[in-house]
């Protein structure tokens, strides 16, 4: 299992120190919120622009925003591994193609109440599918076990159709809930609070792996 550490609840007054403690993450997960698509505001490009100077860990950007297309020009400057947008946002197909045309891997996510069937037009286009196991917008929520069925469904579709997307899971992932994800088809887990609140962050990451 690969681990993407979310820095949503990091101490931004000591961000470089926090990032250095996460060097054994497979990815750093950046939750960008606009206060409109989700009822919270996090951080944007001006806050994150120096991340490539302080870490070599690949970046995994999750845009929880209504109009993701207008954010792409800035975030491609960070040369992330993935930029993921929401199916429920405006112009998802146009934005996916914009991401891919800039040689960045494109991901698509869906909220817990959106069915997998809504993703079918995108399954042959995207490099990653992000399943939310909480309602997006806030850290520290409880894991929604019923979402595991979506992961298994997407894994089945991937195997049957030779799709190449990775399956990522975000929300309430810790050393207990990760047991629900074993043998589900999940490739990457996103974890924030569990890792950042741990006395030994590297140990917490390794426990999830």
For the chain, list the domains and their CATH numbers: 2-208 (3.20.20.70)
pLDDT confidence of residue 13: 75
Active site residues: 31, 170
pTM score of the predicted model: 0.93
pLDDT confidence of residue 141: 65
DSSP 81-147: SEEEEETTSSSHHHHHHHHHHTT-EEEEEE-TTS-GGGGGGGTTT-SEEEEESS-TT-SSPPP-GGG
Along the 209 residues of the chain, how does pLDDT read in single tens digits? 999 999 887 777 788 888 999 999 999 999 998 877 776 777 777 778 888 989 999 999 999 999 999 999 999 999 999 999 999 999 999 999 999 999 999 999 998 999 999 999 999 999 999 999 988 766 566 788 889 999 999 999 999 999 999 999 998 899 999 999 989 999 999 999 899 999 999 999 999 99
């Amino acid at each position: 299992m690969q681990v993407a550490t979310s820095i949503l609840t990091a101490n931004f007054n000591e961000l470089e120190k926090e990032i250095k403690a996460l060097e054994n993450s497979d990815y750093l997960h950046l939750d960008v919120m606009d206060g409109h698509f989700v009822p919270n505001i996090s951080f944007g490009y001006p806050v994150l622009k120096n991340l490539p100077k302080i870490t070599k860990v690949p970046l995994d950007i999750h845009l929880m925003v209504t109009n993701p297309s207008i954010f792409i020009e800035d975030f491609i400057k960070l040369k992330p591994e993935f930029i993921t947008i929401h199916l429920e946002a405006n112009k998802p197909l146009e934005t996916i193609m914009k991401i891919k045309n800039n040689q960045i891997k494109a991901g698509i996510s869906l909220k817990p109440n959106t069915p997998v069937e809504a993703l079918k037009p995108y399954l042959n286009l995207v490099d990653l599918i992000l399943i939310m196991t909480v309602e997006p917008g806030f850290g520290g929520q409880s894991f929604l076990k019923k979402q595991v069925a979506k992961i298994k469904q997407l894994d089945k579709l991937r195997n049957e159709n030779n799709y190449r997307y990775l399956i990522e899971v975000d929300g309430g992932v810790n050393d207990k809930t990760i047991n629900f994800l074993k043998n589900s088809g999940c490739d990457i887990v996103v974890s924030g609070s569990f890792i950042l609140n741990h006395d030994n962050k590297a140990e917490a990451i390794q426990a999830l792996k």
